[in-house]
Amino acid sequence: MVLLWILTGTVVAGVGSVWVAALLSFGIMARLTKHMLSFAAGALLATALLQLLPESLEAGVTPHLLFALLLAGVVFFFILDKAELYHHGHEHGEHGMDLLDADKMAAATAQAHQGSHHHSHHGHHHHADGRLPSGGWAVLIGDSIHAFGDGILIASAFIADWRLGLLASLAVLAHEVPHHMGDLVVLQSSRGDTRGALIKVSLAGTVTALGGLCGYFLLAQFGQYLPYFLVVAASSFIYVALADLIPQLQRQASLRDSGAQLLWLLLGIGVVFVVGELAHGGAH
């Protein structure tokens, strides 16, 4: 039963986030685009600080060891980020993307269509065989590596408690949506094919389920270390929120935009808190 929960949670987080991103980028939900970073940051911080870390303490990890592991985890993900193995690339700066500006997202999408016609008129046929340009492969490889790690973290949460796994899946889905939005537009810009971009990013998202399977069998052998896996998961969520998402919210913005960011941040925290309380209340 736990394995079924893990597979469900990882597929929803990995592939579902891609489809939500597609709706935000190209569909009727585009007006919510600029709020997703705030919501994701709130959900990640709340899941880490209100759910994962308390669960680790209740499992017997001492406070001194817990915070030492938390610090080590943050440093570890910082090193991975420096090695370009973990960075989400929400900004896609080399492509001129900025997910905080919904108008720029729409302009980039339109430009992608124009770009495809422009290149066809100038005889650039070097991608006609279906191959992705190097930037496209970098996006997909980066997605796959991070999705695999997310799958392991979700598996560790489900093994501890299915309710905790549910919240971890929600947090992963929330923070994957913004960077998948950038990925979709980048791939569409390189090929001018929205459907193909959606399929490729969705396939990369399925690696989350593979990570979940590996995490399940890994923790079956080393189950006594589960509380420490939860601390690692918390450090991952905290690092992504503080190093990747919130800095993008700190850019110059009007008072109205800042207020909206705060409201969506609190909404992310509130959703995790309410779901957690309802789940624990139902258990009791």
Q: What DSSP letter does each residue of 32-69 carry, written as one string? A: GGGGHHHHHHHHHHHIIIIIIHHHHHHTT--HHHHHHH
Range from 33-37, 59-63, 120-124, 199-203 carrying the lowest mean pLDDT: 120-124
Query: Closest Cα to residue 189, out of 145, 132, 130, 147?
Result: 132
Q: How many residues does the chain have?
A: 284
The answer to whether residue 69 sits within a structural domain is no
User: Out of 9-23, 92-106, 172-186, 256-270, which region has the weakest mean confidence (pLDDT)?
Assistant: 92-106
Tokens of 113: 């269509």
In a domain, 75, yes or no: no
In a domain, residue 24? The reply is: yes
Taking the C-alpha atoms of residue 118 and residue 116, their distance in angstroms, rounded to an integer, is 5
Q: Is residue 12 part of a domain?
A: yes
The answer to whether residue 250 sits within a structural domain is yes
Residue 185 inside a domain? The answer is yes
Rounded CA-CA distance 9/147 in Å is 12
Residue 54 CB neighbours (<10 A) = 14
Q: What's the average model confidence in pLDDT over 21-28?
A: 75
Report whether 276 contacts 167 (CB < 8 A): yes
pLDDT band at 127 (very low <50, low <70, confident <90, very high): very low
pLDDT tens for 228-260 read: 999 999 999 999 999 888 888 887 678 888 899
Secondary structure class of 85 (helix, strand, coil): coil
Residues 6+ apart with CB under 8 A from 29: 20, 23
pLDDT higher than threshold 90 for residue 277: no
Number of domains in the chain: 1
Domain assignment present for residue 26? The answer is yes
Give me the mean pLDDT over the 255-271 stretch.
91
133 pLDDT band, cuts 50/70/90, is: very low
Domain membership of residue 30 (yes or no) is: yes
Q: Could you give the CA distance from residue 239 to residue 237 in angstroms, rounded to a whole number?
A: 6
Note the pLDDT tens digit of each residue in 45-87.
999 999 999 999 998 889 999 999 999 999 998 998 887 655 5
pLDDT at 6 over 90: yes
The pLDDT value recorded for residue 170 is 92
Domain around 158:
2-58+87-115+131-220+240-283
